[in-house]
Structure 1
């Protein structure tokens, strides 16, 4: 600011000096022309004693106008008037050729009074003949004196401008530092470079929304997880379940991913500036959890069966010791035949070991909870088509778990499961003795957004919907002999 103000002051001084010279030129031309155009001037020049008539008049005009000299001369340079009386009658020193040609001009010339800006103009009679010349001028010393007298004002303005600029600079600096939290420009640049590198390298999605609903920061991972296009991102561009979420952590599902989303307000000095959303991908983890649940369920089933088998073995041994071997054989083989029949049927009809193990485990799990789970006779799976074993376990396991929970609301809980495939589609039908789920209730239950604070209840149906939607299948609900949920998936992928 100091450089700008000083440069402005120097330019003002230079401009003022130039203007001063230009104003002087205009002034001396006006004075010389006014005398030359006066009708009495050519008459006086042609009189017997021109000096006696013109000298008093030119001195009076000189005093009024403030010029340093007014010279009226003959075409041969002989002076009729001059500020210095001793120079009257002597030749004029300076250029007069252009004036003799009828032109009025100005020049800077070193004359009898020193360097001056002077004008020369011709004097003509009634016939248009040049009978004399008039020259008026102001010395450089006088011009400099007038210029110096004006310098204090210019310097004062420059100083005042510098003070105002200094105060403005300090005020602006303080305001900028308040807005940048006291950080200097190099610190801001360094922080931006570091933060930008971090934002694009972290494995979590990050979105920062301002009060206007437009994201001010969106990193690459957030665009990938939410399938966001390039360019500005608004709240309306997010999946519907994320558009109106509250603060805290929530589990959200998109068509292809399971996401953990946290939203927290950005606070500064008690004011809310916006919201920060962090997004973590739990798709693979959720699939592994589903498989782990199935394995755990199967393991629990084996444990309970082992415990039950030990009890039955003790009973059989005791019956033999009591001398009742026939009753012991009948007791030992009754339940074994039933369980072995189910195992043989599933292993023969279901050509997917993970699904067969899941169904066997769910039968035992349901029995432990007092629910009768039946695998229908028409259950048969040659090949699941485009559905992977993990997705098949997710689909069937979550439908069965929901059915078991729902069936407990009846006096005699039961669940019936059918899994079969054909040349065109895979069908999974799960019925239960629960109150049922009309279509409009199913639509609500499939909402993709559940609070992590209340556990994962309700997430099962959303995971089922995710698998079905991924392969453009259908999920329907009806209430007939019980609550029936049917998922149908084409065995071949269609565009």
Structure 2
């Protein structure tokens, strides 16, 4: 919708719209070609000016050298003082002019009257130009329009041994010849300029093609719009988003990712291994592999992680990772499982009660009332006694329902769940959902362990709270837990059971989360978990009350294996 809404004004805008739709690569190409043309033209112009300057400088140097040399030729003073200086000097001067390549070489007396000239008809006429400085014994150069047109000339005095000026020598090259000399270099300069222009434009086109591929042919409007939307989405989305390159460096992390993973401020640009993440989380982020709703622990949070590798032209570029906080959802799921277990137990008891009712009715119809009463009340004493005891000992209705439901559930699975007589729970500063997570998962694991053990199959549960804190102790008659496996048992994904189908469309339920969830709750409250062994495994959880000694308790919180 964004693209279509902006398209109409761009079409109406004519040339401005074309500029808006032109890709970044196209605009860069036009700019670069323009700059290259301007630079090449400027370079050629500078080279032409330099060539002209050089030609002029060389002409000046030549006329000065020729004039100086001829003015100091032996016999020059004698020739000037002779009765026929023109006849003596003219052939020598003309030969020297031809050899040196100057346009004129003139010898004159101090009054400026020519003794020599390329045009014999001008001999005896006054020299056209300035000679005052030369008469003072100073050689000089100037540009002056003489009989041959504008020329660069040098005028040098001819002096005797005592410094008396007895004549002057002028040598010059016309400006037209200087320009012609510079013009002969112009084709070479133009050819070099055109070659440089062709190379520069060719290189620019190649760079433009690469830029076009990298920008996908997008124009500045589209790129700006994409960036604005990209930035807005990253800040607004309620999921953590990370972009990780093929070197396992974090290129981008939005606000929610920083919060959920507790990333440092300078996380961007650092390797995943340097961010202090949980080992399993760091391994997933750094591996570049694909993941779908993989559950990971990060501090006190349980995260659902999706990772999608980024590949272009068959080469891995990294991965995009999204992180979603499922801590509350997992807690609610645990509570729901407890309710489902209780419902299943009630359903089974209802079915069993219906069977018993049929037996009672049949006994009544047979007029065997004593047997009917005895049969009807035989199974009620134990369950009623347990219910009455829990009603008096447990103030938390959710915990009481959980214990009753797990007792019925264990009975259905052939396991005797015993709740100790010292079980007593008063109001405690642990949320009911967290209490269900701890007690429910420990009991579930114990029931499954007892099922694979030898008869009699039993689980013993004790839940006690006092002024010091809460203690949950669950023991089973199963095979127990090897001490070397204790630490691994509390890691996410560790289990001794295979994944089972959950009936949700064929998707298997993740296993190995129960004890990880228990450890998460215990850590959050600064408690401890002890793992021991009697006839089977014994798990003991201790959570202190949140009072003034909490920091000290949190400092010692952890996992022990007595």
Does TM-score exceed 0.5, indicating one fold?
yes
Query: Could you say which residue in structure 1 is the equivalent of 2:543?
Result: 489
Whether 2:283 is the aligned partner of 1:240: answer: no
- In the alignment of these two chains, the number of paired residues is 494
Map of 1:275 onto structure 2 = 319
Q: What CA deviation, in whole Å up to 9, does each residue of 1:263-286 have, x standing for no partner? A: 333233333333333323222221
Q: Determine which of 39, 42, 49 is the counterpart of 1:4.
A: 39
Q: Could you say which residue in structure 1 is the equivalent of 2:26?
A: none
Q: Which residue of 2 aligns with 1:34?
A: 69
Check the 8 A contact 1:358/1:397 in 2, yes or no.
yes
2:162 alignment partner in structure 1:
127
Deviation of 1:464 after TM superposition, in Å, equals: 0.9
| 1:480 maps to 2:534 | yes
* Deviating more after overlay: 147-156 vs 402-411: 147-156
Q: Which residue is equivalent to 1:76?
A: 111
TM-score, normalised via structure 1 length: 0.90
Query: Structure 1 residues 318 and 9 mapped into 2: Cα distance closer, same or farther (>3 Å)?
Result: same
Indicate how the Cα distance of structure 1 residues 110 and 390 shifts in structure 2: closer, same or farther if over 3 A, else same. Answer: same
1:296 & 1:157 partners in 2: Cα distance? 87
Change (3 A) 1:6 1:314: same
> What's the CA shift string for 1:439-468, capped at 9, x where partnerless?
431211222357997522111111111111
Q: Does 1:405 align with 2:448?
A: yes
- Alpha-carbon distance in structure 1 between the residues aligned to 2:75 and 2:519: 114
Pair 1:395 & 2:438 matched: yes
Structure 1 residues 394 and 37: alpha-carbon distance in aligned structure 2, compared to 1, 3 A threshold: farther
Deviation (angstroms), 1:260: 1.9
For residues 263-302 of structure 1, what are the structure 2 equivalents within 5 Å? 263-302=307-346
Query: Separation in 2 of the partners of 1:261 and 1:156?
Result: 63
Moved more, 146-155 or 204-213: 204-213
From 224, 241, 247, the counterpart of 1:206: 241
Please list, as runs of the form range in 1=range in 2, the aligned pairs for 1:42-53 lying within 5 A after superposition.
Answer: 42-53=77-88
More moved, 424-433 vs 129-138: 129-138
SS at match of 2:299: coil
Find the counterpart in structure 1 of residue 355 from structure 2: 311
Structure 2 residues without counterparts, runs of 5 or longer: 1-32, 501-506, 555-562
Q: Please name the residue that 2:25 is paired with.
A: none
Partner of 2:13: none
* C-alpha distance in structure 2 between counterparts of 1:38 and 1:48, whole Å: 19
Are the counterparts in 1 of residues 345 and 408 from structure 2 also a CA contact under 8 Å?
yes
Paired residue for 1:458?
512
Any residues of structure 2 matched to 1:46-445 within 5 Å, and which? 46-183=81-218, 187-229=222-264, 230=266, 231-236=268-273, 237=275, 238-245=277-284, 246-249=289-292, 250-385=294-429, 387-412=430-455, 413-445=457-489
User: RMSD between aligned alpha carbons?
Assistant: 2.7
Q: CA 1:352/1:30 → structure 2, altered by over 3 Å: closer, same or farther?
A: farther
Find the aligned partners of 1:376 and 1:104 in 2 and give their Cα distance: 128
Kindly tell me: are residues 145 and 215 of structure 1, through their superposed partners in 2, closer, same or farther at Cα, counting changes over 3 Å? same
How far apart in 2 are the matches of 1:330 and 1:226? 62
Deviation at 1:372, TM superposition (A): 1.0
TM-score normalised over the length of structure 2: 0.80
Unaligned residue ranges in structure 1 (runs of 5+): none
CA distance in 2, matches of 1:39, 1:484: 128
- Take 1:449 and 1:37, find their aligned partners in 2: how far apart are those partners? 108
The answer as to whether partners of 2:134 and 2:140 remain within 8 angstroms in 1 is yes
Moved more, 448-457 or 89-98: 448-457
Distance in 2 separating the partners of 1:98 and 1:86: 27
Tell me the distance in 1 between the aligned counterparts of 2:427 and 2:83: 139
SS in 2 for 1:244: helix
Shift in alpha-carbon separation, 1:474–1:32, aligned structure 2, 3 A? farther
Q: Is the 8 A contact 1:252 1:449 kept in 2?
A: no
Write the distance in 2 (CA, Å) between the matches of 1:111 and 1:145.
19
How far the C-alpha of 1:488 sits from its partner, in A, is 1.8
1:410 Cα offset (Å): 0.9
Q: State the distance in 2 between where 1:25 and 1:197 align.
A: 71
